[in-house]
Structure 1
């Protein structure tokens, strides 16, 4: 891949929500976007992301279903998935974790919280230089 930056895949059927996430995570310039489950699968298989931010409520394929597909794919199963959704209930969070999510961030997203969760998961899975994330 040749990039010294982690690759983020932001998935939400609401383009405005993707733009907000993209701005919050702007110090990670390798961002790709998808507005449907099928598009997200296609993009993830074409270029394996280092982390996926995923909305649970999408028409057609839900975020839960999409996360399960990611976790069944040998090339993507170890990619951390962080759900971003407006459903704050514990039952909803449990469903996210049951589908294979690594984390859950409620909308409206608190920028510092989202950045810290992304950074924590990237440090667990992506660190080619062996050094801490210098972007912060």
Structure 2
């Protein structure tokens, strides 16, 4: 496997750099394969979602479709893929950000639930609770 940094993925999806975007696209098409896939770790995935949301204003559905495409690609391996898929399902129907749902899924998988937060949007969804609520 080949580890992929956020800036590589951002150049690929944003296609916004005349020097690097074509090089990254060539790398994706020529170097990544089913036998040597790219690896996207959880931090990289969350950073990518933040970058795309901030730089392009991708809406929830577009971000969800992109994440789904990453999960289903045979040239990529997503770290914590099961938790990503569960977080994605919650993100599609909920009000919180993808990172919030992913945090909750990772916490739950580790046996830590609920997840205490100060984020009112996240607290509208299980397994989040506001700090002011009883744990």
Question: TM-score, normalization: structure 2?
Answer: 0.31
Higher helix share: 2
Higher strand share: 1
Name the larger-Rg structure. 2
Greater relative contact order: 1 or 2 (C-alpha under 8 angstroms, separation 6 or more)? 1
